[in-house]
Structure 1
């Protein structure tokens, strides 16, 4: 197992210009991380392609790896032309991933207001066809693409599995976020157990959970069924993190684990404590 940090964990520092992405990489190395996951929020690799080589070289100089490249995408479009253009754009992002030297890339797949299972079943083959084309493009670089349980529409463990099987490519897997299942009102322990065998990448994130009847107010967001979540430092929230980490470890997963912090606390503190918690739990379980 190689433990590291998603650059998204330090997005507050990136947006405040306290750090640039190269500074994020150094911070991760200085705080015990073994890899950086690149999420281009707070910087743009399409508009600033010179950063691609700079990121790869900085990570090497800092003694850590670049593990994964994670981008947004949505193959739900109004026209066929837009659908084809989105596939082409994501394939260009695959080229960026290759430039970063990664062998894993996460792209989102779909977002809809209507998140019903009926709509999902209607969309599934078109979404799978897009993912299949991107995965085939990525195969030339030896890159495994993945869908994250993310964005409500394809968030529950069964929907993630359905898409993976429909795509039917050995290099299309899932970036398994242990916390995001809660957004679909799914128990993280159960969902991780169901999907860990499909994981090419693991995100460790924690949430505080409150029922729909108890609205805590500012700083919280709603799950698919109206419960309330707020980002937490890993190990401080309501996920049984010890059991989750145990499931991941006992599964034989031995790849990259990224801490993803999105709480209200200071991002440096939240990220550092999250790294320490995952390391401690991994050693203990």
Structure 2
């Protein structure tokens, strides 16, 4: 009798709210928190493939099955990571033919499972902000095949990194040069080139805005990530070291949003109420909403204390809960 009363109250007060048990982010279960339906949110939900990097690297999930997995978890859109496919492609006797095989399969599966291909995250194709013009132009050329791939899959963008010079003015000019060339090519394929705050100078939102203004092309924009604002790590490491200097995250997202064509909801760990320990999601979503953005927000779970699936669902539920509070 108590159960039916609870369901009645949910129906009366929240209409299409899904009344479920509170999220348990332990590895033992994936019980979802009481959250509202995503139907009336100002944004749509996508899944960043990097959220599944642990099961992919451990051999528990074939990256070719990404669309199926995302569909099963209730996502409308998907964001690929190129590095999950590059080894297979590059090691093939005919890499170009193998790329076609991979893309054909990914495209077919996205149609089969009714998910929208949105972005390919590009890593390992060279430093676009390198001082050496030959190296920089080579990186631009390396990225072009992924522009083609994104176009074939029906994506709207590729995400690139801006690594290279560590001198701000050099970095800025190098970035403007490379992004202008790559964006010019991408216009022929109706693809956007998006820069994520992904560490070092790319996480300095002030500098990144200057780069966007310097490029000044409609198809060149940003992909604000809620969590990637580390400017410097111990020992000068790019990854896997303690961050010793950060750009203010809320200020950074706010400054990047006028150029945003995608948004990444990073998450690491959660408290007992299902809130992210480091990031105020309600505050972040208010910044995103105030900018007028109404596209996809990608779930990018990067924690290690719970399973990938539990972390993804906890992040998804938190986005819905916080979004409903605005």
TM-score, normalised via structure 1 length: 0.84
Equivalent position of 1:60 in the other structure? 111
Equivalent in 93, 101, 107 of residue 154 of structure 2: 101
1:269 to 310, 319, 326: 310
> In 2, distance between residues paired with 1:143 and 1:75?
18
1:85 and 1:175 mapped to 2: Cα distance?
23
Tell me the CA shift for residue 201 of structure 1: 0.7
Are 1:21 and 1:55, in contact at CA under 8 Å, matched by a contact in 2?
Answer: no
Corresponding residue SS for 1:8? helix
1:235 matched to which residue of 2?
A: 275
Give 1:182 shift.
5.1
**1:37 shift after superposition:** 0.3
- The aligned residue for residue 260 of structure 1 is 300
Alignment pair present for 1:7 and 2:49 = yes
C-alpha RMSD of the superposition: 1.9
Say if 1:109 and 1:131, in contact at 8 Å, map to a contact too. Answer: no
Secondary structure of 1:173's counterpart equals: strand
1:22 aligned onto 2:64: yes
| 8 Å CA contact 2:103, 2:149 repeated in 1 | yes
State how many pairs are aligned.
256
CA displacement 1:196-222 (0-9 Å, x = unmatched) = 11101100013xxxxxxxxxxxxxxxx
SS at match of 2:201: coil
Aligned to 1:191: 252
Is residue 4–residue 275 contact of structure 1 (8 Å, CA) maintained in 2?
no
Greater shift in the superposed pair: 64-73 or 175-184:
175-184
Post-superposition, which runs of at least 4 consecutive aligned residues in structure 1 deviate over 3 A? 45-48, 76-80
Q: How far 1:188 sits from its partner (Å)?
A: 2.1
Q: CA deviation at 1:284?
A: 2.1
Alignment of 1:21-170 (within 5 A): 21-44=63-86, 46-47=89-90, 48-49=98-99, 50-72=101-123, 73-77=126-130, 79-112=132-165, 115=166, 119-170=167-218
**What is the alpha-carbon distance in structure 2 between the residues aligned to residue 189 and residue 235 of structure 1?**
16
Q: TM-score, normalised by structure 2?
A: 0.74
Deviation (angstroms), 1:40: 2.0
Q: Deviations over 1:118-172 (max 9, x none)?
A: x111232222111101001110111111111112121121111011111111110
Higher mean alpha-carbon deviation, 26-35 vs 183-192, is at: 183-192
Mapped contact 1:105–1:145 kept (Cα < 8 A): yes
Mark the runs of 5 or more structure 1 residues left unpaired by the alignment: 207-230
1:224-249 per-position Cα deviation (integer Å, ceiling 9, x unaligned): xxxxxxx3358322211111112212
Does the Cα contact within 8 Å between 2:281 and 2:318 map onto a contact in 1?
no
Q: Partners in 2 of 1:15 and 1:165 — Cα distance? A: 38
Q: Alpha-carbon deviations, 1:25-50, whole Å to 9, x = none?
A: 21111111111100123332743411
Matches of 2:323 and 2:286 in 1, distance apart? 7
Q: CA deviation at 1:71?
A: 0.4
Structure 2 CA distance for aligned equivalents of residues 22 and 283 of structure 1:
33
Distance 1:71 1:191 in 2: 22
**Is the 8 Å Cα contact of residues 131 and 164 (structure 2) preserved in structure 1?**
no
SS, match of residue 68 in structure 1: strand
Counterpart of 2:291 in structure 1 is: 251
CA contact (8 A) 1:249 1:282 kept: no
